[in-house]
Amino acid sequence: MKAISDILPHIAYGGDYNPEQWNEKVWYEDAALMQKAGVNLVSVGIFSWAVLEREEDRFDFTWLDKVMNILHEHGVGVCLATATASPPAWLSRKYPETLAVDDKGVPYSFGSRQHYSPNSSIYRRAVKKLVTKLAERYKDHPALKMWHINNEYGCHVSECYSQDSLEAFHAWLRRRYQTIDTLNEKWGTNFWSQRYNYFDDITFLSNTPTFPNPGQQLDYKRFMNDSLLELYMVEKKILRDITPDVPVFTNFMFEFKPLNYFSWAPELDVVTWDTYPDPREGTPEAHALQHDLMRSLKHGQPFLVMEQVTSHVNWRDINVPKKPGEMRLWSYSAIARGSDGIMFFQWRQSRAGAEKFHGAMVPHSGDEQSRTYREVQQLGQELKQLDSLTGAVVPARAAIIFDWENWWAVEMEGKPHNKLSYLEQVKAYYHTFYRRNIAVDFVQPGGDLSSYDLVAAPMLYMVKNGEKKNLEQFVENGGTLVVSFFSGIVDENDRIHPDYYPEPLRHILGIHVEEFVPMAGGEWNQLSAGTDHYRCTTWSDVIHLETAEAAAYFTEDWYQGRPAVTTNSYGKGKAVYVGTEPEQAFIDDILTGLMREKGITAPASAPPNVEIVERTSGKGNHLVIVNHNQEEARIELDSGRSYVDLLAGTKVENEVIVQAVDVLVLRQTEQK
């Protein structure tokens, strides 16, 4: 298969297009407006099952044929959707067992969307038939660029408690454990008399009187992730067989807890995701983290923003529009961090239905002079000048360990502290990198760390088979690893690693932890590091030094004077342990010190709230600069380099001004 940047040689620009909501006359108007706006790609048919298969086996593709042809005539490529995200009424009526069931045992009703059970064999059979028909019909259509499989898996229904799902869970457990004795051992079922004699004895944990078995909870989450992924694979296989050269993907959603996107990414030809930051409360930093995570899922390969909104959504309590310029600015943040596409939900604002007040590229009025359409048109024209960016990667020497299974496990109940948020811990470490414009990837604990010099592992509670060795090797080979509290505690089944905490990390960290002292909200302790003092909250570890040295001490409570932060030399590298949740200034200080040691620097120096990201490929080195401030910002560039400003066409050296709420895309021209 060709590289995505060969299939989409321009920054992809467009959105979800739902022509079945309009008549043929509007289709022509749409295509003309798309052309004017620089649209080159649309996703068609995401919710079209009911108009593609009107009754079981009664297919009608005539309207879609026309739409595909019109789009092609206007130079617009198509991500053709497989239309399986919202099964039609006839399927739910005729086969009620295709409906997903909630944790109270109640089937979801027809009348919104995503009401299918991922484990229903009848739903899967119907999916196969529809996808085969679509692929056969459009396999040679010149407009077909990519396949958009289903839509946002798990968004509304990420757990299913149907009979089909229970049987599939039993089969999944049999595959994983082979024997019931192994399962009993892994789940620790001798606790509270939970021992099973047969796989078929296992029920769902939907209504237990108190804390359910942790190993079982964790496996249910894995099973649901795998069920949805398997469903995706059913479609992918058909599409690969019939159209081996057409890339396939589904659209992800941010850091969505129920789905382990690292396990999905290898099955997508390109990662795509839907981004909806709240214009009232969302921050560029939170948004940037999500883009960095999406880029990391396929190890740095550029991703596509498959949906965002031009102005406002309609599903928050209060839905304010993005301010003038904000949509453009946030689009460039995505491009800076590795996106090769800016797509929207949706092309034309719907007249009817649950999302009629959701923004779109063309508003209800259809007015070409509307602010929305003008901004859409401006951005579309600008992006045409950025072809050299496509395929470019974001080189990063720092990484943050991120693991979905750890996230699931550490936030299950029954812990020393039951208000821990994994994401909050990750965000605290991300903050330091973001604020300093240091490119950072996310990587799994067992992932390839060889290209990084500095890796932070916040709250890595679960350390699975092989991960210990991976982390040890990273440090042995000269890497710097920073690990924070409540790490290295359990195995993949949420069973404690025997021996001292944190057993799998004990040798690299050169410490052991004897006790945990969680703190309630409002309580705090203090760290003393040389002459500096920092507040810390949430958690204190009672640490014993083995080969490590103390870098900071607790100053209060019965464990005062004991180490709180430690440093250990290991092989050619170094491992730092932070046995508490320090105030941000401490994390900043410690990480910036470590970056200094490693010579990790930002691509240029800039005032706060200006993002600068380097993207590089055989087509050139680029700096994408996004100024979120309400005033202009002065950027000092590397004096050894000259650039061309791709949007203005001018030459730039030494320093450059980026206007308030504005962007610059610079391409390096020569080395002086």
Residues near ligand GLA (CB under 6 A) are 151-152, 274, 276, 307, 313, 345, 355, 358
Q: Which of 339, 607, 655 is nearest to 666 (CA)?
A: 655
Q: Which residue blocks in 360-445 are alpha helix, DSSP H?
A: 371-383, 404-410, 422-435
Q: Which of 53, 152, 255, 382 is catalytic?
A: 152
The minimum distance between CB 113 and ligand GLA, in angstroms, equals 8
- C-alpha to C-alpha distance for 666 and 266, rounded to whole angstroms: 32
Residue 315, annotated as binding a ligand: yes
Helix (H), strand (E) at residue 181? helix 180-187
Q: Which of 53, 159, 307, 467 is catalytic?
A: 307
The minimum distance between CB 155 and ligand GLA, in angstroms, equals 7
Of 164 and 274, which CB lies nearer to ligand GLA in the complex structure?
274
Of 12 and 610, which CB lies nearer to ligand GLA in the complex structure?
12
Token pair of 122 as six digits:
């009848």
Residue 137, annotated as binding a ligand: no
- C-alpha to C-alpha distance for 499 and 497, rounded to whole angstroms: 7
Cα angle value 629/633/639 (rounded, 5°): 145
CA of 277: how far to CAs of 158, 331, 429, in Å?
22, 11, 21
Distance of alpha carbon 360 from its chain centroid, rounded? Answer: 23
- Name the amino acid, one letter, at 116: Y
Q: Would you tell me how many other CB atoms lie within 10 Å of the CB of residue 604?
A: 19
The minimum distance between CB 145 and ligand GLA, in angstroms, equals 19
DSSP state of 102: -
Of 273 and 452, which CB lies nearer to ligand GLA in the complex structure?
273
The minimum distance between CB 308 and ligand GLA, in angstroms, equals 9
- DSSP notation for 440-452: EEEE-TTS--TT-
Tell the burial category of 415 from Cβ atoms under 10 Å away from its Cβ (0-12, 13-18, 19+): middle
The minimum distance between CB 657 and ligand GLA, in angstroms, equals 36
The minimum distance between CB 672 and ligand GLA, in angstroms, equals 46
- Give me the sign of the Cα torsion angle 478, 484, 486, 490: negative
Of 306 and 428, which CB lies nearer to ligand GLA in the complex structure?
306
Cα angle value 81/124/260 (rounded, 5°): 70
Residue 160, annotated as binding a ligand: yes
Tell the burial category of 276 from Cβ atoms under 10 Å away from its Cβ (0-12, 13-18, 19+): middle
- C-alpha to C-alpha distance for 408 and 157, rounded to whole angstroms: 17
What residues have CB less than 8 Å from 435, skipping those under 6 apart? 285, 588, 608
The minimum distance between CB 365 and ligand GLA, in angstroms, equals 20
Which parts of 491-609 are beta strand (E)? 511-518, 525-529, 532-545, 549-554, 563-570, 573-578, 580-582
Of 304 and 471, which CB lies nearer to ligand GLA in the complex structure?
304
Of 152 and 255, which CB lies nearer to ligand GLA in the complex structure?
152
Q: Give SS3 for 47.
A: coil
Of 251 and 540, which CB lies nearer to ligand GLA in the complex structure?
251
Token pair of 651 as six digits:
């030459």
Residue 371, annotated as binding a ligand: no
Token pair of 86 as six digits:
């919202």
Q: Which of 458, 406, 461 is nearest to 431 (CA)?
A: 458
Of 274 and 491, which CB lies nearer to ligand GLA in the complex structure?
274
The minimum distance between CB 126 and ligand GLA, in angstroms, equals 21
Of 221 and 358, which CB lies nearer to ligand GLA in the complex structure?
358
Q: Give SS3 for 480.
A: strand
The minimum distance between CB 661 and ligand GLA, in angstroms, equals 24
307 part of the active site: yes
Q: Which residue is nearest to ligand GLA (CB)?
A: 274
Q: Which residues are annotated as a binding site for substrate?
A: 113, 151, 315
Q: Which residues are annotated as a binding site?
A: 113, 151, 160, 315
Q: Which residues are annotated as a binding site for Zn(2+)?
A: 160
Q: Which residues are catalytic?
A: 152, 307
